Structure 1
Amino acid sequence: MKVAADQNYPLAWLVGVKPTKSTLFYYPRFPAYIVDIDIRNAEFIIAIDETTPPTSDHRNSGQIEKKYVSRWTKARIHQHDFREHVLSAYQISCAVCDLPHAQLLEASHIIADSREAGVPEVSNGLALCRLHHTAYDRHLLGIDANRRIHVATRAKRIETAHLQTGLLTFDGRSLTHVPASKQMHPDGDRLAEHFKDFLRAEEQTVG
């Protein structure tokens, strides 16, 4: 593989497809080129293209060579509907800061979509602006089962104007927005489950 990468040899990549439990077939993708190798983990990245990738070295010229790689991805086709339902239930406002701008709002999962319990229901969602969505996912901001907001210690240590107005000012407050329907309120058990991860991150910071 290393020789193929160094010499830009074209390879045939056989992609396995299993439409049923008892059926397996392969179809070829050609040409394929090895564009990077991780020797320690015995992994490599394959690019699929109709032309041979350039071999010139631009590292000394300050130029960056364009490289592309084809990947198989899993798209969450239900995410659009989930976002629409959550934002509508929260009257197009961030549950933390009240920002009423749809283009800057996102539907955050309380229990992550990747987990089996992360169902696409409004009660498993929060309408959050992009800042507070990222902070919630990264455990810089926590919300307990009583909907009280907590700001992480590591965020409090960064005393900047942006964090003062964007995060620290909401520490200890309750959510400003919840859906009118009780059935759509953020589920307390799910909030508590997510908050456990926030507390674990806090323990690592303090410890």
Structure 2
Amino acid sequence: MTRLWSQIKDLRLRRDAIKWLQLRTNGGEHSLTRDEINDFFFDGERFKLIDPMKGIRKPRELEAALTIMTSFRKPGEERPYADDVGPDNLPRYMWEGNDPDTYTNRGLRLAMERGLPLIWFIGVGGSPMQFHAVCPVKIIGEEPELKRFILTPASEDELSFTNLEERDMAEEIIKRYLLRETKTRLHQPVFRASVIRAYQGRCSICNIGHASLLDAAHIVPDSDEHGIASVTNGLALCKIHHAAFDSSILGITPDYTVEIRPDLLKEVDGPMLEHGLKARHGQALMMLPKNAKERPDRALLATTYKRFLFAQSA
């Protein structure tokens, strides 16, 4: 392997893999199985993007790591590695093991030092297991005492910071940018993939099954959460019912019953109001996750149901 390969072909491989994933997932709308992810070809040859045994993929052809993977965690379960978020609300990725000098940890460290883009595969459940591809991401720092790296979403026009000292030069501006990008490009897509998968690609209220018409709605606002949102704080809703839910036209009781605001029940209008909203009043949700542990949190529904009742008296 020549150094020319590592510097030029490396970047082309990363670019091609990211573009292929964006096309393969329709811009991040769909998740992929492990076999589908490893169906990537580079220069006419199959090139695996997920390591069969490790969470960090550092191909022998490359000097730096290429991809990272976070396993799916069912509600109440712990992952083998405690990938989490830090006090700055940016995601962390744990070392492999305790030795900072394993080839995988060195590979991530080198990717950080060179500012190279990485691909992050996050398990969202299903059988076979599906992964949501978050890419590109970059490593902007390391916390050796906690045995983990600091991640942020990356983009072509993003400012490049290769260490924490540079990052601190414009701390407040960068922090606002990173928090916005992390929520927009990491938390929300993974949340959507997890929720839509749990509800089998159907609206929980009307059962429509066209993915392009579905949203992953938060029961309580994601601004009240820390880290990647839990599927139990989500509902798969078509765009009409999502808007109605967010505007307190439609409420859902803690026992999963749909209610429509009383003044709307008295209105006479077109078929959408009659069949899409009024006809659902007093009816149970039509779709819930098969796994009871992934169903909507009743305490969170109680919070938004209070908001729904308050809107009627306002």
Higher-Rg structure is 1
Instruction: For 1:116-135, list aligned pairs within 5 A.
Output: 116=225, 120-135=229-244
In structure 2, distance between residues paired with 1:185 and 1:191? 11
In structure 1, distance between residues paired with 2:172 and 2:190? 35
Instruction: For 1:176-195, list aligned pairs within 5 A.
Output: 176-195=286-305
Aligned partners of 1:98 and 1:176 also within 8 Å: yes
TM-score by length of structure 2 reads 0.42
In structure 1, distance between residues paired with 2:212 and 2:197? 13
In structure 2, distance between residues paired with 1:74 and 1:26? 12
Is 1:91 the counterpart of 2:197? The answer is no
**Matching residue of 1:100:** 209
CA distance 1:157–1:92, shift in 2 (3 Å): same
CA distance 1:132–1:25, shift in 2 (3 Å): closer
Is 1:172 the counterpart of 2:293? The answer is no
In structure 1, distance between residues paired with 2:172 and 2:284? 55
How much has 1:109 moved relative to structure 2?
0.3
Q: Deviations over 1:39-79 (max 9, x none)?
A: xxxxxxxxxxxxxxxxxxxxxxxxxxxxxxxxx79242211
Aligned with 1:139 (options 248, 267, 270): 248
Residue 140 of structure 1 aligns with an amino acid whose one-letter code is: I
Percentage of identical aligned residues: 35
SS at match of 2:207: coil
CA distance 1:190–1:25, shift in 2 (3 Å): closer
In structure 2, distance between residues paired with 1:108 and 1:156? 23
How much has 1:165 moved relative to structure 2?
1.2
CA distance 1:118–1:159, shift in 2 (3 Å): farther
Aligned partners of 2:190 and 2:228 also within 8 Å: no
**Matching residue of 2:311:** 201
Is 1:114 the counterpart of 2:223? The answer is yes
Residue 180 of structure 2 aligns with an amino acid whose one-letter code is: K
In structure 1, distance between residues paired with 2:277 and 2:288? 19
Number of positions where the alignment pairs a residue of Structure 1 with one of Structure 2: 142
**Matching residue of 1:61:** none
Aligned partners of 1:111 and 1:117 also within 8 Å: no
SS at match of 1:108: strand
In structure 2, distance between residues paired with 1:118 and 1:157? 42
Aligned partners of 1:106 and 1:130 also within 8 Å: yes
In structure 2, distance between residues paired with 1:26 and 1:159? 51
TM-score by length of structure 1 reads 0.62
In structure 2, distance between residues paired with 1:145 and 1:84? 24
How much has 1:26 moved relative to structure 2?
11
How much has 1:159 moved relative to structure 2?
1.5
Residue 183 of structure 1 aligns with an amino acid whose one-letter code is: K
Higher RCO, 1 vs 2 (CA within 8 Å, ≥6 residues apart): 1
In structure 1, distance between residues paired with 2:172 and 2:255? 53
Residue 192 of structure 1 aligns with an amino acid whose one-letter code is: A
In structure 1, distance between residues paired with 2:251 and 2:218? 13
How much has 1:118 moved relative to structure 2?
9.0
Unaligned 5+ segments in structure 2 are 1-165
CA distance 1:98–1:24, shift in 2 (3 Å): closer
Unaligned 5+ segments in structure 1 are 1-17, 28-71
Query: Cα RMSD between the aligned structures?
Result: 2.6
Greater than 6 Å deviation, 4+ residue runs: none
**Matching residue of 2:257:** 148
More helix by share: 2
SS at match of 1:167: helix
In structure 1, distance between residues paired with 2:172 and 2:244? 43
SS at match of 1:177: coil
Aligned partners of 1:111 and 1:118 also within 8 Å: no
